[in-house]
Amino acid sequence: MTRKVFLLGLDGATWRMLDVLMDRGVMPNLEGLVRRGASGVLNSTIPYVTPVAWSSLLTGTRPSKHRIFGYTVMENREGRVLSFLANRTRMKAPTVMDMYHQLGRSMISLNMPMTYPPREEDGVIATGMMTPSSESRFFHPPDLMDELRARGIDYRIDISLAGKEQGDLEDRLGAYLADGAARFFEDLDGVARAREAAVLHLMASKEWDLFQVNFIGMDRIQHYLWREITRDGESAAKRRAYEHYAYLDGVIGRIAERIGSGAALVICSDHGFGDVRGNFYPTVWLKNIGYYAEVGDRRTPALLLKSILKKLGISRKLRAALEKSDKSLAKKLIYIGTSKVDWKHTRAYAYVTNGIRINVRGRDQFGIVEPGAELESVKRDLRDRLLGLEDENGERIVKAVHFIEDLYGVSGLEEAPDLFFEFDDDHFHTAYYNVTQAPGVLDKGYSWRQGDHRRDGIVVIAGEGVVPGKKMNADIEDILPTIFFMQRLPQNDLFDGRVLEEVFTPEYVSTVDRPPPRSYEAGRPEGPGDEDSEEVVDRLKGLGYI
């Protein structure tokens, strides 16, 4: 019989906060699991953003294989350069849902990012972040939401972020977080309690070998209230945050109790957390140093075409249809006519968080940088300039710059930046690549955004055969191979992650049958992946992601 495994995602969980909470007695269930099981730091992907990290967990591979590098995915071919929101249709590696279907195993998946759109073969699923809207078909079987509603469960994917109100985002979020963030916590608590109710119902009523669910509360609290909850003293918002953390600890305890002694419980986060000092605008920076250019007020053919299209009232849908036309020249004209980028004078550009792509001749549609010596010179120059970035106090803010070939062993991928940069933990800035006009390349940031991601997430593994109190250091792509190991399933020959054998006793390891690795196919998700996604964009903006 396959050993059951419950994978509990605590989005944004970090030991920087959990250690404090356990010391203060706020999370006794988690503390008990840490004592009885194995725990440690779970290194996220680079960049450490939600779609990239969860894609690596769901596939057991690095971004170079699943090809998700941010909240958007770029297509740079056939005479066009287009950007789409990332979702499952853009992933190149098979997911755990694909693998379980091919193995004939049963699973339940709730609110995991990057699982939209769902497939009939997924079993029981309700997708998570990057789902277009609550009106889309984000679940399977078709009567799943009816079943939950019949039990009084008002299941929601995420908090509202005051999204249904009119007005400027800054004003909406200000009202949402006013009065000790009362509305925010009411919203967050409602989402979490409905999710727990759905979990407990489905655990008891459906067959499953693997149950995976993601709770978003820690991430949302820490984005908005990191400084509030980490400073000394008490406040209404801090009290409510601690209450929510205590509630999540109760969820951990109730799940651990219900899965029983024969099952394994894996708790992990997609990334860690820390404070944020301000915003960085990489496109503005590239423009200032002469690497990026936009079409000015000159009456160029592109601007003339743009003017004509505007006068004709060309719609977004019609433009998309034209871009998908088989006529490459039409694609090129439509794209150039609706773009601000001056490709003839752009050597580098940013289209994902903390990544920069070089506009290379022969690889990129409008490339001007020659491959070879010129490309390497540009990369080195950008690296040196990034490492030299200073804040208003003259302190350097970037701690590392990675070339993709050094990070992932590949280069020249259609979807990938050529280099990634990481901020120093004590001088962390959020990168907004879609801002092209700003007074400077750095500023103080948004008043409502107090925290941002760090690479060091968390992992806890508890169950039969786990060494009590064992400490470990793992990568996020190690989680799925380790689950397959515990369930005696064939490893995927594409896995980049390793089995975390060191957390198990030698006796347990010796009893585990290991079928030979095999190949799995990436499923083709049903339904469109690029439908109207304004709700996703608004949600991402409300969290400060784009």
* Domain assignment of residue 31, yes or no: yes
* Domain assignment of residue 316, yes or no: no
Question: CA-to-CA distance for 361 and 347, rounded, in angstroms?
Answer: 10
From residue 501, give the alpha-carbon distance in Å to each of 263, 285, 512. 17, 45, 11
468 and 429 inside one domain: no
* Domain assignment of residue 481, yes or no: yes
236 and 216 inside one domain: yes
400 and 530 inside one domain: no
Last residue in a domain, options 413, 443, 473: 443
* Domain assignment of residue 196, yes or no: yes
458 and 434 inside one domain: no
User: Structure pTM?
Assistant: 0.91
Residue 320 confidence class, pLDDT cut points 50, 70, 90: low
Helices 534-542 and 169-176: crossing angle in degrees, nearest 10, is: 60
What's the pLDDT at 63? 97
Share of the chain above pLDDT 70, in %: 88
Question: Is 461 in a helix, a strand, or coil?
Answer: strand
Amino acid at 243: E
- Residues 154-187: pLDDT tens digits? 999 999 875 555 677 788 888 899 999 999 999 9
- Residues 11-38: pLDDT tens digits? 999 999 999 999 999 999 999 999 999 9
For Cα atoms 355, 402, 350, give the angle at the middle one, nearest 5 degrees.
15
Which range of residues forms the domain containing residue 473? Answer: 5-273+452-542
Residue 307 confidence class, pLDDT cut points 50, 70, 90: very low
What's the pLDDT at 333? 47
Handedness of CA 240, 241, 246, 252 (dihedral sign): positive
pLDDT at residue 326 tops 80: no
- Residues 243-263: pLDDT tens digits? 999 999 999 999 999 998 889
Last residue in a domain, options 390, 419, 443: 443
Let me know: does 249 contact 28? Beta carbons within 8 Å: yes
* Domain assignment of residue 327, yes or no: no
* 514 compared with 541, residue with greater pLDDT: 514
Buried b / exposed e along 167-199 (16+ C-beta atoms within 10 A): eebeebbeebbeebbebbbebbbebbebbbbbb
Question: CA-to-CA distance for 466 and 3, rounded, in angstroms?
Answer: 14
**What's the number of CA atoms in the CB half-sphere (13 Å) around residue 50?**
28
Question: CA-to-CA distance for 502 and 338, rounded, in angstroms?
Answer: 54
Q: Which two tokens stand for residue 400?
A: 């590392």
489 and 418 inside one domain: no
Question: CA-to-CA distance for 262 and 498, rounded, in angstroms?
Answer: 23
- 394 phi/psi in degrees, rounded to 5: 75, 20
Q: Bridge-partner residues for 357, per DSSP?
A: 349
Q: For the chain, how many structural domains are there in total?
A: 2
Pairing label, strands 278-280, 442-443: antiparallel
* Domain assignment of residue 251, yes or no: yes
377 and 479 inside one domain: no
Last residue in a domain, options 405, 422, 443: 443
pLDDT at residue 466 tops 50: yes
Question: CA-to-CA distance for 71 and 53, rounded, in angstroms?
Answer: 11
Let me know: does 283 contact 349? Beta carbons within 8 Å: yes
Question: CA-to-CA distance for 217 and 234, rounded, in angstroms?
Answer: 20
492 and 395 inside one domain: no
Question: CA-to-CA distance for 237 and 91, rounded, in angstroms?
Answer: 38
H or E stretch covering 422 = strand 419-423
pLDDT at residue 482 tops 80: yes
* Domain assignment of residue 325, yes or no: no
401 and 465 inside one domain: no
pLDDT at residue 227 tops 90: yes
pLDDT at residue 328 tops 80: no
| CATH code, domain with 136 | 3.40.720.10
Tell me which range, 82-96, 227-241, 321-335, is most confidently predicted by mean pLDDT.
Answer: 227-241
**What is the DSSP track for 218-247?**
HHHHHHHHHHHHHSSS--HHHHHHHHHHHH
Question: CA-to-CA distance for 469 and 401, rounded, in angstroms?
Answer: 35
**What is the DSSP track for 338-398?**
T--B-GGG-SEEEEETTEEEE-BBTTBTT--BPTTHHHHHHHHHHHHHHHT-B-TTS-B-E
- Residues 361-390: pLDDT tens digits? 998 989 999 999 999 999 999 999 999 999
* Domain assignment of residue 402, yes or no: yes
CA 157 to chain centre: 15
Give me the chain's average pLDDT, please: 89
Pairing label, strands 451-454, 272-275: antiparallel
* 164 compared with 309, residue with greater pLDDT: 164
- 78-82, 113-117, 227-231, 271-275: which has the minimum mean pLDDT? 78-82
